[in-house]
Amino acid sequence: MIELSAVAAWRRYADEQRHAGRRVGLVPTMGALHAGHASLFRAARDHGDVVVATVFVNPRQFALDGDHRAYPRTPRRDLELAQSSGVDCVVTPTIEEMWPSYPEVTATTVAVHGVGDPLEGVDRPGHFDGVASVVAKLFNVTGPCRAYFGEKDFQQIAVVRQMVRDLDFDVEVVGCPIVRDEDGLALSSRNVMLDLDGRRRARALSRALRTVASGPLTASEVRAALRRVLGEGGVDVAYAEVVDPATFVPCTEHDEGERRALVAAVVDGVRLIDNASVTLRRAG
């Protein structure tokens, strides 16, 4: 496994792989890697790609600098997991190269409206601007590739796909299934910040989604069930919504068929998200 940090070397490596007739598979991460990331690495490997993993805790997608500093970092373990999962190249760029003006505001920002406006867009103003901006840079440096993202961040995938369409990136965005722990909790780098009681209460997110997955239910029944289970679990609900998975427009009582239920909650200061496919029936 090759380890790189310089943007120029990273760009050169990806160019060399394509010149040799290989497809590049890019897995963007913020480190603190776990089995969910490993599943993305394996998916890229299974597609026959040369697997490039980036590890960069992007400050532009955090509302507060303190949140950026508090984000878990496990650099040694990250390299071990990447190597054991078949990654060919790990890129750990510096903030100085990624955002030369940091901590000053960067002059150029990529903003994706529509799918990026509700839910996370409301609760975390500027978050998706930071995500879209850094992913655009990752795509620009890597060049034509497949890019693998976990569906736990379902709205993030929608934002990235919209950006790719609108800006004509030569990138195929691949969404991969959520990986869960034995207790149902969706794997997240933030989970390590929970104590035993917090983890117990955090299970309410996946439990709420399982409650509505059996369907079919009306949109209002889905929202009510999600909030009821989350409330019983003792978490602070940020949102519990069901939307069109392509547009992220909230569903109405007239909608039917497959839609997406998304939840977000705060547990002891740790913000967690989860989602699942649901089947709606028309009310009445």
| pLDDT tens for each residue of 28-47 | 999 999 999 999 999 999 99
Exactly one of 19, 37, 113, 127 is catalytic; which is it? 37
Q: What local confidence, expressed as pLDDT, does residue 65 receive?
A: 62
DSSP 3-state assignment of 179?
coil
State whether 129 and 234 are in the same domain.
no
Residue 284 lies inside a defined structural domain of this protein: no
Range of the domain at 45: 2-176
Cβ-count burial 42-58 (b if 16+ within 10 Å, e if not): bbbbeeebbbbbbbbbb
> Distance between CA 23 and CA 11 in Å, rounded?
14
257 forms beta bridges with: 280
Buried b (16+ CB within 10 A) or exposed e, 125-160: eebbbbbbbbbbbbbebbbebbbbbbbbbbbbbbbb
Residue 107 lies in a domain: yes
Give percent of the chain above pLDDT 70.
99
254 is catalytic: no
pLDDT digits (tens, 9 = 90+) for 161-220: 999 999 999 999 999 999 999 999 999 999 999 999 999 999 999 999 999 998 899 999
Give the domain CATH number at 217: 3.30.1300.10
Domains: count for the chain: 2
